[in-house]
Amino acid sequence: MVDRWQRGESLHKIAQLFDPHYSTVRRILAEIGGIRPAVRHRADRALKLAKREEISRALIASQSIRSVAAQLSRALSTISREIRRNDR
């Protein structure tokens, strides 16, 4: 199975030979490290690192979330979610 995958055969073709379920072949190959995880990208609408740093500095300076949102021209909910997501 792995040899076929490394030679470039599709998962669907390999599944036809070994198991009728494509998901089983994918799971097996993923478990043994045969499939690289997809490259992750932040959405374009997500806050960039610089904006997240500005939020952090503003909170340390005891600014309100509302004032931070106004400074960054972002919705209050966006700033609130970002704080909740990274408040560890």
Q: What is the pLDDT of residues 25-44, one digit of tens each?
A: 777 777 777 666 678 888 88
Identify whether the C-beta of residue 1 lies closer than 8 Å to the C-beta of residue 10. Answer: no
Over residues 50-77, the pLDDT tens digits come to 999 999 999 999 999 999 999 999 999 9
pTM: 0.54
Instruction: Judge contact between 54 and 71, C-beta under 8 A.
Output: yes
